[in-house]
Amino acid sequence: MKTVRIGNGQGFWGDSVDAPVELLRGGEIDYLGMDYLAEVTLSIMMRQKLKNPETGYATDFIGFIRRVLPELVERNVRVICNAGGLNPQGARAKVFEVARELGVGGFKVGVVEGDDILPRLPELIESGHELANMETGEPLAPIVDRVTSANAYLGAQGVVDALDQGALIVLCGRITDTALALAPMAHEFGWRFDDWDRLSAGTIAGHIIECGAQCTGGNFSRWWEVPDLWNVGYPIVEAAEDGTFVVTKHEGTGGMVTVDTVSEQLLYEMGNPQEYIGPDCVADFTSIDLKQVGPDRVQVSGITGHPRTPFLKVSASYLEGFKATGQLTVSGPRAIDKAKLAAETIWKRLERSGVHFEEAQKTVELVGVDACLPGISPAPAEPPEVVLRLGVHDADRNKLVRFGKEIAPLVTSGPPGVTGFAGGRPKPQEVVAYWPALLAREEVENSVRVSVEEA
Amino acid sequence: MRVPLYQVAHARSGDKGDGSNVGLIANSPEIYPLLLEQVTAERVKEHFSQVCKGKVERFEVPNLLALNFILHDSLGGGGTESLKTDAQGKTHGQGLLSLEIEVPEDVPKET
């Protein structure tokens, strides 16, 4: 039976730059999927693109291409990624530029566009689409002037079209992460886009590998069982036409693939397990059968699913003021009491200078005591040291600049044993907030464009 | 006997908007009914009372010997807005594993 080997070499924006290279060189794969977009990455790319219209894509990807392009072409390993961001055409031009520099030609690059709906927001709202926030129910219209990016999550169809046209590399913007695995399966096996069980199988395969090493031993609860985590192998699915697949990794790599490591990843960012809603189908995670069929080999079968919904998810981002965080390390006897006094001192000095923050706008954490899990893990009564971490959020940037000036003085004008003030005054950062919404799918799908060009 | 969940189960967590999700998985089939019975949404809410400001929802995933919990309003705004160290609930799975449940003496346990 024909199987197709699909790897994932990049779990998120900022993941290991060596992982996709190791995955490519460590053994046989047919496809390499790479995810470069976090929820607000597109907003950052928007600002880059406003400054320079040739940017707006994930530049890490170009670095990757520079390292491996001749091998990709020679071995015909096809790459599918969302590194195109807001400018997949620009990313393609850059890939072609790199190819010329390397003297590599005779391959095709596909681009999938149509996810960027920012320019269409006024028209969409005008014609009755509320784009209400999925968490709060509020309509988008009142904040539409502050929106810095708005992209629909596209499904696998556009990528399949590009693969059908012979693309070696497919550059997308905001396609759903799971489509990076589903698309090559649908292309290789000719799956129909109303075959809900197979589409769900491909979607679940994508979900398992979309976070890279999180299914091969990374972030695993029983971490002490995981061998050679430093050299963790990124995941590969070996997919078959009937929708069953095996999750594995290259021989000789660290980490492990077991029913337990795969189960943990299946539950990651899970809502209702019977209704995992994606652009192509609604997958049922309670239908999954997992079986260990060899060392570092887990077979996944039995997957069923339901028809897709009439909507696509839209991920928009908007500006929501500024934030700043600063920290000090407090050591020696009664460290907790001293850290609390230091925090109180900072807030009172800010008040004296006329800078007031509401309770909801500020955070005080004692890292080492109760920053992450307050009330859950018992806090030590007398820790030898704690890190005091202070954060503020406000619409007025100047207040945050003032806050940044009140941290360092504690070293000499606070309680004793205060140190660890390094890296300069905390600087205000723009807060780019996230706005998830739904939009009728035909509004987007009718304007998806796929183009394939040869180098 | 009473044991912390990390001796009989494993977990993973991540963000769901301004809430987190925690997947809890039994180490073996004989443990799963004990999780079903004792790790209720109410107990999880109580365990995370200083973290989770909203309600806790529980879903059953018997084929994976798992429960999935949604801890609403537990990230201080979530994503990029939150000022918390753990703005994405990455540690909530580890936090749940310190909850204690009652198990028979002969159940296999991690030590």
Nearest residue, CB atoms, A266 vs list B18, B64, B97? B64
- Whether B17 shows a pLDDT value over 90: the answer reads no
Cβ–Cβ of A271/B70 closer than 8 Å?
yes
Q: What is the pLDDT of residue A393?
A: 96
- Whether B79 shows a pLDDT value over 80: the answer reads no
Closest by CA to B53, choosing from B84, B10, B80, B97, is B84
Cβ–Cβ of A221/B61 closer than 8 Å?
no
**Distance (Å, whole) CA A434 – CA A454:** 37
Cβ–Cβ of A374/B50 closer than 8 Å?
yes
Cβ–Cβ of A222/B10 closer than 8 Å?
yes
Q: What is the pLDDT of residue A374?
A: 95
Please count the helices (runs of H) and the strands (runs of E) in chain A: 13, 19
Q: Which residues of A touch B60 (CB under 8 A)?
A: 273, 286
**Distance (Å, whole) CA B10 – CA B97:** 7
DSSP helix/strand/coil, A452: strand
- Residue-wise pLDDT for A328-387, tens only, equals 999 999 999 999 999 999 999 999 999 999 999 999 999 999 999 999 988 888 999 999
Q: What is the mean pLDDT of chain B?
A: 95
Task: Classify residue A154 by its DSSP letter.
Answer: B
Contacting B residues, span 8-47, partner chain A, CB-CB under 8 Å: 10-12, 14-18, 21, 23, 25, 27, 47
Q: Where are the alpha helices (DSSP H) in A109-258?
A: 121-126, 157-164, 179-189, 196-209
Please list, in sequence order, all residues whose beta carbon lies within 8 angstroms of the beta carbon of residue A398, skipping any fewer than 6 positions away. Answer: none
Q: Which residues of B touch A432 (CB under 8 A)?
A: 80
Which of A12, A215, A225, A267 is the mutation pick for testing B, counting most B CBs within 10 A?
A267
* Closest chain A residue by Cα to residue B45: A376
Cα-Cα-Cα-Cα dihedral of A14, A16, A17, A21, to 10°?
-140
Amino acid identity of residue A349, one-letter, is R
Cβ–Cβ of B80/A432 closer than 8 Å?
yes
Cβ–Cβ of A373/B51 closer than 8 Å?
yes
CB proximity B73 to A under 8 Å: no
Task: Classify residue A332 by its DSSP letter.
Answer: S
Please list, in sequence order, all residues whose beta carbon lies within 8 angstroms of the beta carbon of residue B92, skipping any fewer than 6 positions away. Answer: A373, B13, B20, B22, B48, B51, B71, B74, B86
Q: What is the pLDDT of residue A357?
A: 97
- Whether B111 shows a pLDDT value over 80: the answer reads no
Q: What is the pLDDT of residue A41?
A: 85
Q: What count of residues does chain B have?
A: 111
Q: What is the pLDDT of residue A53?
A: 92
**Distance (Å, whole) CA A161 – CA A154:** 13
CA distance B37 to chain A (A): 19
Cβ–Cβ of A373/B49 closer than 8 Å?
no
Distances from the Cα of A197 to the Cαs of A202, A269, A300, A345, B99, in angstroms?
Answer: 9, 21, 13, 61, 37
Q: Please give the average per-residue pLDDT across B8-25, as a whole number.
A: 95
- Whether B18 shows a pLDDT value over 90: the answer reads no
Nearest residue, CB atoms, A325 vs list B15, B68, B83? B83
Ranges of residues in chain A with a pLDDT under 50 are none
Q: Which residues of B touch A261 (CB under 8 A)?
A: none
pTM of the entire predicted model: 0.96
Distances from the Cα of A293 to the Cαs of A7, A105, A257, A289, B31, in angstroms?
Answer: 19, 41, 11, 12, 23
| Neighbour tally for A95: CB within 10 Å | 22
Half-sphere exposure of A268 (CA within 13 A, CB side): 26
Q: What count of residues does chain A have?
A: 455
* Closest chain A residue by Cα to residue B65: A263
Task: Classify residue A406 by its DSSP letter.
Answer: T
